[in-house]
Amino acid sequence: MRVVMLAPPGAGKGTQGERIASRYGVPHIASGDIFRQEVASGSPLGNRLRDYLEAGDLVPDELVLQLMTERIIAAARDDGGYVLDGFPRTLPQAEAAAEIARQAGVSAQAVLYLEASDEVLMQRISGRGQGRADDSEQVARHRLEVYHKNTQPLIDYFTGRGIVVRIDAARTIDEVSQEIFSVLDPINKG
Ligand code: ADP
C-alpha cells in the first residue's frame, strides 16, 4: 500500500495517516514529525530547520529531500509501502518523489486529498491545544496561506496521473477513516 496524503494543516492527516498505516501494516512517514524530532535532537541540521518550522515556512526542498529520500526508499523496499504525510509539498518535491519512485520501481497508488474550509481548519488548529509552537493563530494562518500557494497546485499534478481521491475532511474522524478505508481496501486487495 503506497499512499500520499495531501491536506492543509488541521485536516487530520496525522490522525488518518496513523490509522491507514496500522490498517495496512505500512509505516506512517510524516515529514513534520521527522523535522520536529530533528529540531529536538539539537543536531546542526535540526538547528537549520528550527526557524522554518517556527515561522510556518516551508523547509527548503534540498533539506526536505535529504531527510525524506532514504526513508521512503527503505519503506518501499522493506515494509511493502508507506503512508506519506506532508511530503511532497511542492512541485519540485513531487517531481523528485516521482523520480525516487521510478528508481525504486514503485509509485504511489493513491493520493488522498483531504478537504475542509479554512474556517474549519482554523477552528480545529486553535482547538487542538497540543502545544505545537506553530499552532498560534498567526502562524497557523500563514501555514494555510503557504499550503494554498505551494501545495494545493500539486492536486493538478496528481490529478493528471489519475490517482487523486477527494475526501471531505470536515466530518468526524471515524467518518473520514471509513471513507478512506472504503477507497483503499479494494486497492489493497489488488
Ligand atoms: P501542518 O500540515 O499542520 O502544517 P506538518 O507537521 O505537516 O503540519 O508540518 C509542519 C512544518 O514542517 C511545516 O509548516 C513546514 O515548516 C515543515 N514541513 C513539513 N513537511 C514539509 C515539506 N514537505 N516541505 C517543506 N516543509 C515541510
- What pLDDT, in 10s, does the model give residues 11-54? 999 999 999 999 999 999 999 999 999 999 999 999 999 999 99
C-beta of residue 184 within 8 angstroms of C-beta of residue 21: no
H or E stretch covering 82 = strand 82-85
Q: Looking at the predicted structure, is the pLDDT value of residue 104 above 90?
A: no
What atom of ligand 1 comes closest to residue 33's alpha carbon? 6
Choose the residue to mutate in 13, 39, 53 for probing ligand 1, maximizing ligand atoms within 8 Å of C-beta.
53
Read off the DSSP letter of residue 135.
G
Q: Give the three-state DSSP class for 56.
A: coil
Nearest to 35 by CA among 7, 56, 8, 13: 56
C-alpha cell recorded at residue 77: 523496499
- Tell me how far the alpha carbon of residue 164 is from its chain's centroid: 14
Catalytic residue among 2, 19, 36, 89: 89
Residues with CB under 6 A from ligand 1: 9, 31-32, 35, 52-53, 56-59, 64, 86-87, 89, 93, 134, 143
Mean pLDDT over all residues of the chain? 95
The β-bridge partners of 84 are 4, 29
Question: What's the confidence (pLDDT) of residue 67?
Answer: 96
| Helix segments in 131-172, DSSP class H | 137-146, 154-159
- Ligand 1 centroid–CA 190 distance in Å is 31
Q: How far apart are CA 86 and CA 70, in angstroms?
A: 16
- What pLDDT, in 10s, does the model give residues 124-172? 998 876 778 899 999 999 999 999 999 999 999 999 989 999 999 999 9
